[in-house]
Amino acid sequence: MKNSDNKVVAVIMVGGPTKGTRFRPLSFNVPKPLFPLAGQPMVHHPISACKSIPNLARIFLIGFHEEREFALYVSSISSELNIPVRYLKEDKPHGSAGGLYYFRDILMEDNPSHIFLLNCDVCCSFPLPEMLDAHRRYGGMGTLLVIKVSAESASEFGELVADPVTKELLHYTEKPETFVSDLINCGVYIFTPEIFHVIHDIRTQREDKANLHTLSSFEALRLTTKTHAKDFVRLDQDILSPLAGKKQLYTYETMDFWEQIKTPAKAKFDTETIKRLQGCHKGSKVQDLHALKLYLARFVVRAFNAWASASGYFTFSRVGDTSSADLKITFDSASHGDGNDFDGNVLAHAYAPQDGRFHYNANQNWSVGPEGVSGAFDLETVAWYPCWSGESFEQG
């Protein structure tokens, strides 16, 4: 069977009523996954993104909210996307991996070759088709979407180390107390059905440990208090950490916008951001540059990395502390303090490597993505220009 014929299913974890306490009191009357974000329920954004997955058979929502809370939305989104969407209610929390295993027979009804797993509180550009292509090239059991963040914020997430060449996941630790890496887990995954065998083995090991017949009463008490119920399996600590470095898990790094919606303040920020970004990564709109600096800078970094690969000499990585950066990218207009004012023709200029300043003209219209925008200049193309000799990049 060809890859193009293989079916894929998507699973979105939506949690339950005991979660999302940081959204109170806003989440008292509506479950967090249905909390409005940019005019749509939060869960709508990952669901809509899944439509871009080739050969998608159906989408499942897994959680332990009451079914009636999702019934109307599931019916509506199924009709809107013309893709079957089904809510599966757990009898109790099982953990992300445990929830997958609990509904394994239903998830495998279409005999899918791959299973996407997404957290509902993730807000990003969702490069799902590209991630699937990379996963197939890697040939492993699973692939994680990852992104680089500042060292200061990395500890809020799962930190990981990946092989820079093969992209294999070498080390994973969830919210470490000390800094491990600025590469973090985005909460978006692809797995082959082999994941169910791995979860089964973990449950079997727990069952064996629960056999206390030959243990002393002290040892029995110690094991009972330290271990989880056999059907509660965490994806991060129970799957990712133990399998790191065993050539089973790989990473796909995104340079685009990514955020986890943990609080109402984050939801407000990302509601505004999503409205600005809708269609931006597809090149369908000219966007306000100042509002999108962080997002657009990632396209610059992507161009720099391509340049580094072509040169065989340079390497680039983002840093959280600008004082330690070798290159400083800013978006400026007219007179901006370097003695080289932007006129109507200059799009960008840079200085010698020992200086490291790279300035974009903020008064120009910019676009990103392969489709381009009439009357706008492609950000990546300009970033490609080798202007480190101190030249300017002008129109034409």
User: In which element (H, E) is residue 393 found?
Assistant: strand 392-394
Topology of domain 3-262, CATH = Spore Coat Polysaccharide Biosynthesis Protein SpsA; Chain A (3.90.550)
What's the mean pLDDT in 56-79? 94
Q: What is the pLDDT of residues 309-343, one digit of tens each?
A: 666 666 666 665 566 677 777 777 777 777 777 77
Domain boundaries, the chain: 3-262, 279-394
Q: What is the mean pLDDT of the chain?
A: 77
Q: pLDDT confidence of 66, banded at 50, 70, 90?
A: very high
- Look up residue 171 and give its two tokens: 């080390």
Q: What pLDDT, on the 0 to 100 scale, is given for residue 329?
A: 74
Burial class, 283, CB count within 10 angstroms (exposed 0-12 / middle 13-18 / buried 19+):
middle
- Look up residue 168 and give its two tokens: 């294999």
pLDDT of residue 1 exceeding 60: no
Q: How many CA atoms lie within 13 A of 6 on its CB side?
A: 14
pLDDT of residue 102 exceeding 50: yes
Which range has the top average pLDDT, 211-215, 280-284, 305-309? 305-309
CB 149 within 8 A of CB 193: no
Distance CA 364, CA 140 (A): 44
Q: What pLDDT, on the 0 to 100 scale, is given for residue 4?
A: 44
Per-position DSSP letters for 40-54, written without gaps between them: EETTHHHHHHHTTST
Q: What pLDDT, on the 0 to 100 scale, is given for residue 336?
A: 75
Q: What pLDDT, on the 0 to 100 scale, is given for residue 63?
A: 95
pLDDT of residue 168 exceeding 90: yes
Architecture per CATH, domain 279-394, reads as 3-Layer(aba) Sandwich (3.40)
β-pairing, 114-119 vs 158-162, is unpaired
Task: Give the chain's length.
Answer: 396
Q: How many CA atoms lie within 13 A of 275 on its CB side?
A: 11
Q: pLDDT confidence of 289, banded at 50, 70, 90?
A: very low
What's the mean pLDDT in 282-286? 36
What's the mean pLDDT in 367-396? 57
CB 144 within 8 A of CB 191: no
Which range has the top average pLDDT, 49-63, 142-156, 279-293? 49-63
Q: What percent of the chain has pLDDT over 70?
A: 66
CB 189 within 8 A of CB 117: yes
